[in-house]
Structure 1
Amino acid sequence: MPSARLLLLAGFCVQIAVVAKSGLVLGPDGSKLEINAGPCMLQLQEPCANGRLLFYFVRDIEAEDFFLIDTTDENSLSESGLDPELPLKLLIHGYNGSLNNPPMNKIGRAYAAEGGSNVVMLDWSAYTNIPCYPTAVLNAWQVGRCTAKALQDMAAWTGAPRKFFLDLHIVGFSLGAHVAGFAGSYLKPNRISRITGLDPALPFFQSLNRSWRLDQSDARFVDVVHTNAGQLGKLGNVGHADFYVNGGSTQPACEHSEKPALCSHLRAPAYFAESIEEGTKGFFGYPCRSFLYYAAGWCNETVARKDSIVMGEFCPMTARGVFMVDTGMARPYALGIDLPEVEEKYLSSRNSSRRGDVEVRVN
């Protein structure tokens, strides 16, 4: 077991010590299912069927019409309104999140307005409540395993599982980004087409090996948006394409916020939601060899801008490397780009996606 996981277990023991009400939950056969310490639960076995992991199909997000799907029941999948012909967008919240949590809810609203996809939101808030961060981290891999099983059930229901996974896009924020990575890891060799990590959580994930965090091997394409790197968000490259926004650590107008780190962390889903919206100018990032090169002032933005790549929903799956993105102080955050040839590629990508003829490359 990695040393960081030992630290997590030690942290959970401290939680038990300071919370009066704690206990061990046993299954019918006497097996150990979970340990409870006040509001915090440590899962010792897969929690897939315990009713705490909830998959909601977004039927009408403006009317807050969410259909709770039982992915093991074909009738439930059919009654939900899911279209087996459309690609699936799975949204996974982070610590202290929920179905109605604004960061992921905004993304759900943007996808719903854009149309052309099934939008499903995973609510695992039973495991992410304050002050239960250590147990949330330890439970994340179990939640990832259950998410993988749910996706396999949905893929089988469509009758075209290979197409389902080639069309699948998981968007995870903070701790949810690592849950997405665990799900992708469990689904091999049926690789997910794309995982987008929105400022993947840093605490207890910085020094662990790749099997215990989101990484490039978890999907055919992994793109990552860094907005609070080194504080709440992970420092260092994670995906095939890593976008460092406004330097990647502190976002404009967050310096004077009551909680600057949290403010910056929450900008990642805000930027991504805007990238989906019709009419956005686009978040363009110019390539740089590494974040350290950028910090040292060794990246020539003037020369590199011609090779800029758009960040967010319409990021090309061929993108590779590190990209630096600038934004505005307030919505609309996207600044666009004054290079017609670069902008034309972006607009063409948006139009192709809307028509449903985006090429999916099988590696």
Structure 2
Amino acid sequence: MVHWSFVFFWWDLESGEGESCDNFTDLNLSHCFMGTSLYVRLLLYTRSNLDCGRELNHHYLSSQPLFNLARPTAFVIHGYRPTGAPPIWINHIVHLLAEQEDMNIIVVDWNKGAANLNYFTAVTYTREAAQNLTGFIMTMQEEGASLSSVHLIGVSLGAHLAGFVGANLKGKIGRITGLDPAGPMFTSATPEERLDPSDAMFVDVLHTDMNSFGLRGAHGHIDFYANGGADQPGCPKTIFAGKSYFVCDHQRSVFLFLCALNRTCSLTGYPCSSYSDFLDGRCLQCEAFKPASCPVLGYDVSQWRDTLLKLGETKVFFSTTATLPYRKLSYRVDMVTWNQYLRWGVVYIRLHSGRNFTEARIDHKLLRFEQYTSTRLLAQFDEDLQQVQKISLRISTGNVIGPRYKIRLLRIRFTPLDRPERPLMCRFDIIMEENMEVAFRPLPCNSHL
């Protein structure tokens, strides 16, 4: 049964303080063991009450003066809560959304329903919660709000809940953002049974855990795949890490989105058919998006909407570091080799600035180096060194016995992808031995030694 919540105000007669704050429902494991029945609460935040939520009446919107239907409205929808505790990121996303523009921010608190040890029960409740939220948005529309100004942000199971709301409203919602939509129970689902592009005028999706709790495939007008959409750097690789082993990759979607909202990490997605092709340097241009740049994860991705709607479903890939601000610095590296003997190996590149250096290892597969062959690489560095004074290069072939063969580079060129204002760096005619590092000072590409 769905319980409808109402707003209650009280006045502290002793302190003279006004209305109390309405907080996200805080449950514990005992509630999860016993099971919870669905109870949907809608907590309103605006720039006027960022730290003090106001619970909305589902039927009488005029009872809350802070709720301005002329403003855009973003709904934040959490997912499955196996411990019953409030999501640690709720306050962060509320504050960061308020920085984007003046809007109503409504946290959809369905913790009573999502907090069940039986995941199947929580999945069942998504349909009921979607009916609840659909009714509220229809009331908004009746009182003058535009559906095109509504943005649903759903995390995990909440992404599908958002999709059900969008489908109920015939796809007229302005935007749905799905943060690693849940995979279990949805792997074989039809588009009507999960989030899909028809659920809103614009659907953007971020994938971080497709091989576990997240959903494989493409489910939006644009799908961002962080580090290929599966294993995330810095997350535990063994079960001995405890809870983090299970949730780290899945939760990374939220932290990447928060970082993007904070504008501290500009995470550019490159359209490509696969992550391996992206790592091979085959997808480092965004011709279809000119004169604009490649799509960037975050609140402003809707500026590419018209192009994306023309292109159809678009997959974009990017890599991150293990920690904040997550952004890697990317260079396209073009080499022309002239070695006599065919060699296979991996490439290590270091950029130096004074005593500081950062290294890129291009080791996802063996690369082929042969006579007069042009090779394109994607080199991704964890740190941004603004002034590169020296570059060192090593081609590791794994050859530990026999003679070391020489590899001749007729030209090597470094093109900064994330910092197009920076000059290209080149070097010409370098003789190096396999497995031995060679260092050189980069030159402007219009120079020649």
Alignment partner of 1:306 out of 267, 281, 285:
285
Once the 2 structures are TM-superposed, how far is the Cα of residue 306 of structure 1 from its aligned partner? 2.4
| Partner residue in 1 for 2:335 | none
CA distance in 2: counterparts of 1:200 and 1:144, whole angstroms: 15
Alignment partner of 2:163 out of 162, 170, 181:
181
Asked if 2 retains the 8 angstrom alpha-carbon contact of 1:275 and 1:314, the reply is no
Distance 1:55 1:341, change over 3 A: same
Residue 40 in 1 paired to residue 35 in 2? yes
Asked if 2 retains the 8 angstrom alpha-carbon contact of 1:89 and 1:117, the reply is yes
CA distance in 2: counterparts of 1:245 and 1:121, whole angstroms: 26
Residue 171 in 1 paired to residue 153 in 2? yes
Other structure's SS at 1:322 match: strand
Other structure's SS at 1:90 match: strand
| Partner residue in 1 for 2:45 | 58
CA distance in 2: counterparts of 1:166 and 1:144, whole angstroms: 18
List runs of 5+ in structure 1 lacking aligned partners.
1-24, 28-35, 344-363
Distance 1:171 1:238, change over 3 A: same
Alignment partner of 2:319 out of 326, 329, 346:
326
**TM-superposition CA deviations, 1:119-152 (whole Å, max 9, x none):** 1110000001130311110111111111111111
Once the 2 structures are TM-superposed, how far is the Cα of residue 288 of structure 1 from its aligned partner? 1.1
Distance 1:274 1:340, change over 3 A: closer
CA distance in 1: counterparts of 2:63 and 2:47, whole angstroms: 17
Other structure's SS at 2:284 match: helix
CA distance in 2: counterparts of 1:301 and 1:167, whole angstroms: 40
| Partner residue in 1 for 2:358 | none
CA distance in 2: counterparts of 1:194 and 1:216, whole angstroms: 10
CA distance in 2: counterparts of 1:37 and 1:266, whole angstroms: 20
Q: Which structure has more helix as a fraction of its residues? A: 1
Residues 1-363 of structure 1 correspond to what in structure 2 (within 5 A)? 39-40=34-35, 52-59=39-46, 64-77=51-64, 79=65, 81-96=66-81, 100-157=86-143, 159=144, 161=145, 164-188=146-170, 191-256=172-237, 257-258=241-242, 259-277=244-262, 279-289=263-273, 293-294=274-275, 297-299=276-278, 302-307=281-286, 308-315=294-301, 316-317=304-305, 318-319=307-308, 320-335=313-328, 338-339=416-417
Asked if 2 retains the 8 angstrom alpha-carbon contact of 1:95 and 1:136, the reply is yes
**TM-superposition CA deviations, 1:78-123 (whole Å, max 9, x none):** x2x1222221111000001879412343222211234422111100
Once the 2 structures are TM-superposed, how far is the Cα of residue 299 of structure 1 from its aligned partner? 4.1
Asked if 2 retains the 8 angstrom alpha-carbon contact of 1:306 and 1:342, the reply is no
Distance 1:272 1:125, change over 3 A: same
CA distance in 2: counterparts of 1:300 and 1:40, whole angstroms: 45
Once the 2 structures are TM-superposed, how far is the Cα of residue 309 of structure 1 from its aligned partner? 1.6
Other structure's SS at 1:238 match: coil
Q: Which structure has more strand as a fraction of its residues? A: 2
Asked if 2 retains the 8 angstrom alpha-carbon contact of 1:40 and 1:129, the reply is yes
CA distance in 2: counterparts of 1:140 and 1:148, whole angstroms: 12
Distance 1:300 1:330, change over 3 A: closer
Q: Which has the higher contact order (CA 8 A, sep 6+)?
A: 1
Once the 2 structures are TM-superposed, how far is the Cα of residue 61 of structure 1 from its aligned partner? 9.4
Q: Which amino acid aligns with 1:322?
A: K
Asked if 2 retains the 8 angstrom alpha-carbon contact of 1:281 and 1:335, the reply is no
Q: Could you tell me the percent identity over the aligned residues?
A: 30
Q: Which amino acid aligns with 2:284?
A: R
Asked if 1 retains the 8 angstrom alpha-carbon contact of 2:270 and 2:278, the reply is no
Asked if 1 retains the 8 angstrom alpha-carbon contact of 2:36 and 2:116, the reply is no
Once the 2 structures are TM-superposed, how far is the Cα of residue 71 of structure 1 from its aligned partner? 2.7
CA distance in 2: counterparts of 1:335 and 1:37, whole angstroms: 40
Other structure's SS at 1:237 match: coil
Asked if 1 retains the 8 angstrom alpha-carbon contact of 2:36 and 2:115, the reply is no
Q: Which amino acid aligns with 2:320?
A: T
Distance 1:61 1:250, change over 3 A: farther
Q: Which amino acid aligns with 1:306?
A: Q
Other structure's SS at 1:95 match: coil
Once the 2 structures are TM-superposed, how far is the Cα of residue 75 of structure 1 from its aligned partner? 2.7
Say which one has the larger Rg.
2
Other structure's SS at 2:299 match: coil
TM-score by length of 2: 0.59
Distance 1:200 1:302, change over 3 A: same
Asked if 2 retains the 8 angstrom alpha-carbon contact of 1:57 and 1:68, the reply is yes
Once the 2 structures are TM-superposed, how far is the Cα of residue 226 of structure 1 from its aligned partner? 0.4
Once the 2 structures are TM-superposed, how far is the Cα of residue 276 of structure 1 from its aligned partner? 1.1
CA distance in 1: counterparts of 2:150 and 2:329, whole angstroms: 27
CA distance in 2: counterparts of 1:140 and 1:63, whole angstroms: 27
List runs of 5+ in structure 2 lacking aligned partners.
4-30, 287-293, 331-415, 422-449
Distance 1:301 1:129, change over 3 A: same
Asked if 1 retains the 8 angstrom alpha-carbon contact of 2:61 and 2:67, the reply is no
Once the 2 structures are TM-superposed, how far is the Cα of residue 210 of structure 1 from its aligned partner? 1.2
Distance 1:336 1:195, change over 3 A: farther
Computed over aligned residues only, the root mean square deviation of the Cα atoms, in angstroms, reads 2.9
